[in-house]
């Protein structure tokens, strides 16, 4: 006998929907013909306090496709604007997404649930309001991988194939992703109201964000300046974490910059294989604006756009407002550098800070670049070297196209490690493995999983990859070796497409 099927409403808190009508448009999801569950994140559902234990696959597919709007409790498409590649667009908004409301999970923190790909809204412009299966799978895999890596991110609760075709360059299977975020408020949300001179809305938005208990850095004072300082801090820590794992977001527009400091929007994102700071994956990023090494600058630029929207609320005297906002923005490079260096030290097995560490880290990165070494593998191999100087050293050395930089750097690193408080080599290696993942969502693996699903309806590679990505810091074994391996030259993916 199967468990009784639960068909009650989700009973979410209205959250953002309690704000005035001009913050969003009330829209119901467009039904889909044959929803089929691809993935459901049961641990996340439980953490969010969603009571779906009895629901079978068909019930979950129906719920997360939006086919039962009465259970969702009202859905809205949220208004926002944004700077896209430096150009201001006064109206973007949820063109294919709907906000359901807040789940208040076990930790008491409200989290928004959103359907993405659920049909047209007043913000769709020319778009069809739908999402293709490939990008939905990519977001599911990469956002959950980011979470497993310990990086602040939106989560994936469910993925449903719609059974319908969406047209991009050609016909593609459609899908809907259920996304969970501490908040979907973006810098672009502030820009939307600032562009309309809607001071009252901006004040409501500041209050809304400040009152929300967003995980991570608390907002010290519920004012516009306190908010700016908190977002600066969160973005500095977030981008530092990206740089440490070799993540390239690819489309760091202000509409994709979360006030909560979560990684959001996984369209053209990708991880570095071979280390090259100039790496650009996204096909639409023609000038490399959002290339790997440019990400801190891009975040800072975006934060300046946020500051501009807050100026009148920071101080009624314009000059003083600019002074205060500039001081808050000035914290970004300082906080970024500190967070970045701190993380890089730990990646090199250093628990204490010394003045020469910046030079040591930069020399290592230069060596990886010139040696054309895989970024993730290099750090993981360095952990092995910390445990056992002999064979591991040769293995890592062999990864460098020309070992001259490696030979010069390792003695400097060993001398620096010798100035650390003593630690058994095994313990240092273990500490390094806790911050240096073996398994990251490599582009060739993601594309392989998508190709199998789109081409043959085979979701086994997707499921296997999901499982491997959930434990990125574990020792590699026979089961996971394939996912830890960098792409062979013929497998390397150097271009990604938004796929919207
Ligand atoms: P993104 O590139 O996903 O950050 O989206 C940028 C803007 O385009 C947002 O306003 C989206 O809602 C909108 N958009 C993207 N894809 C679609 C689509 N298929 N239909 C309607 N709007 C879309
Ligand atoms: Mg977006």
Residue 111 near residue 105 (C-beta atoms within 8 A) = yes
Residue 7 has a pLDDT of: 66
Which residues make Cβ contacts (< 8 Å) with residue 395, sequence separation at least 6? 381, 384
Our answer to whether residue 102 is catalytic in this structure is no
Conformational region of residue 229, where left means phi above 0, alpha means psi within -120 to 50, and beta covers everything else: alpha
Give the alpha-carbon dihedral of 297, 301, 306, 311, to 10 degrees.
120
Burial of 411 (C-beta count, 10 Å sphere; 0-12/13-18/19+):
exposed
Residues 329, 225 share a domain: yes
| % of the chain at pLDDT higher than 70 | 96
Pair (247, 327) in one structural domain: yes
Give 187-204 pLDDT, tens digit per residue.
999 999 999 999 999 999
Q: Enter the pTM of the model.
A: 0.96
What pLDDT does 22 receive? 98
Do residues 109 and 215 make contact, with C-beta atoms less than 8 angstroms apart?
Answer: yes
The closest residue, in CA terms, to atom 22 on ligand 1 is 95
**Residue span of the structural domain in which 81 resides:** 15-181
Residues 443 and 373 in one domain: yes
Sign, CA torsion 372/462/39/471: negative
Same-domain pairing of 245 and 142: no
218 occurs within a structural domain: yes
Using the mean position of ligand 1's atoms as its centre, give its distance from the Cα of residue 197 in Å. Answer: 24
Say how far apart CA 80 and CA 84 lie, in whole Å: 12
Is 500 touching ligand 1 by the criterion CB < 6 Å? yes
Instruction: Give me the pLDDT at residue 1, please.
Output: 42
> Across residues 382-395, what is the average pLDDT?
92
Nearest ligand to the CA atom of 500: 1
Q: Could you report the per-residue pLDDT of 438-447, keeping only the tens digit for each?
A: 999 999 999 9
pLDDT of res. 2: 46
Ligand 1 atom with the smallest distance to the CA of 498 is 2
The whole-chain average pLDDT of the chain stands at 95
In the block, tokens 């491997």 appear at 468
> Do the beta carbons of residue 327 and residue 321 sit within 8 Å?
no
Residues 327 and 369 in one domain: no
Examine the fold and report which residue of 181, 209, 231 is the final residue of a domain before the chain moves on.
181
Q: Is there a single domain that holds both residue 152 and residue 71?
A: yes
Mutate to test the pocket of ligand 1, among 30, 79, 127, 169 (most ligand atoms within 8 A of CB): 127
Catalytic, out of 94, 255, 273, 285: 255
What kind and span of H or E run contains 177? strand 171-181
- CB of 256 within 6 A of ligand 1: the answer is yes
**For residues 348-367, average pLDDT:** 98
- Tracing tokens 């090259």 back to the chain, one arrives at 276
Is residue 499 very low, low, confident or very high in pLDDT (cuts 50, 70, 90)? low
Condensed to tens digits (0 to 9), the pLDDT of residues 460-470 reads 999 999 999 99
Look at residue 8 in the predicted model and tell me its pLDDT. 82
Instruction: Say yes or no: 314 and 357 in one domain.
Output: no
Residues 216 and 153 in one domain: no
Same domain, 302 and 319: yes
C-alpha–C-alpha distance, residues 420 and 30, integer Å = 60
| Same domain as 421, residue 354 | yes
Looking at the fold, whether 20 and 143 belong to one and the same domain comes out as yes
């Amino acid at each position: 006998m199967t468990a009784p099927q639960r068909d009650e409403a989700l009973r979410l808190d209205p959250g953002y929907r309690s704000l005035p009508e001009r913050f969003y448009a009330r829209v119901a999801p467009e039904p889909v013909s044959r929803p089929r569950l691809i993935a459901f994140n049961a641990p996340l559902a439980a953490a969010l306090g969603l009571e779906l234990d009895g629901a079978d696959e068909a019930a979950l597919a129906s719920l997360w496709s939006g086919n039962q709007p009465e259970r969702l409790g009202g859905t809205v498409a949220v208004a926002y604007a944004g700077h896209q590649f430096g150009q201001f667009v006064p109206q973007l908004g949820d063109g294919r997404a709907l906000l359901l409301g807040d789940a208040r999970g076990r930790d008491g923190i409200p989290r928004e649930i959103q359907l993405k790909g659920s049909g047209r809204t007043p913000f769709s412009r020319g778009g069809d309001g739908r999402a293709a299966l490939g990008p939905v799978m990519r977001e599911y895999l990469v956002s959950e991988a980011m979470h497993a890596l310990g990086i602040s991110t939106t989560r994936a609760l469910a993925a449903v194939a719609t059974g319908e075709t969406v047209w991009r360059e050609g016909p593609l299977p459609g899908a809907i992703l259920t996304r969970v975020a501490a908040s979907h408020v973006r810098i672009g949300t502030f820009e939307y109201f600032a562009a309309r001179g809607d001071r009252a809305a901006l004040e409501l938005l500041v209050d809304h964000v400040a009152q929300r208990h967003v995980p991570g850095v608390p907002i010290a004072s519920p004012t516009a300046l306190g908010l700016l300082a908190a977002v600066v801090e969160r973005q500095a820590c977030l981008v530092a974490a990206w740089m440490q794992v070799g993540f390239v977001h690819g489309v760091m527009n202000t509409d994709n910059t979360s006030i909560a400091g979560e990684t959001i929007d996984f369209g053209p994102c990708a991880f570095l294989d071979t280390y090259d700071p100039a790496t650009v994956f996204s096909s639409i990023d023609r000038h490399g604006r959002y290339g790997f090494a440019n990400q801190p600058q891009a975040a800072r630029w975006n934060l300046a756009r946020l500051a501009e929207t807050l100026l009148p609320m920071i101080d009624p005297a314009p000059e003083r407002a600019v002074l205060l906002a500039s001081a808050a923005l000035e914290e970004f490079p300082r906080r970024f550098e500190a967070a970045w260096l701190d993380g890089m030290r730990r990646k090199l097995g250093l628990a204490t800070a010394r003045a020469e560490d910046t030079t040591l880290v930069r020399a290592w990165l230069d060596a990886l670049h010139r040696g054309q070494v895989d970024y993730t593998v290099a750090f993981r191999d360095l952990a092995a070297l910390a445990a056992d100087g002999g064979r591991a050293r040769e293995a890592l050395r062999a990864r460098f196209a020309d070992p001259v930089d490696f030979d010069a750097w390792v003695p400097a690193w060993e001398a620096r490690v010798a100035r650390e408080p003593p630690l058994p080599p095994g313990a240092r290696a273990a500490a390094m493995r806790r911050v240096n993942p073996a398994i990251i969502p490599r582009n060739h693996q993601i594309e392989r999983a998508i190709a199998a699903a789109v081409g043959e309806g085979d979701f086994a590679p997707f499921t296997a990859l999901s499982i491997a990505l959930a434990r990125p810091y574990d020792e590699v074994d026979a089961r996971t070796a394939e996912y830890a391996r960098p792409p062979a030259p013929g497998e390397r993916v150097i271009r990604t497409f938004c796929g919207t």
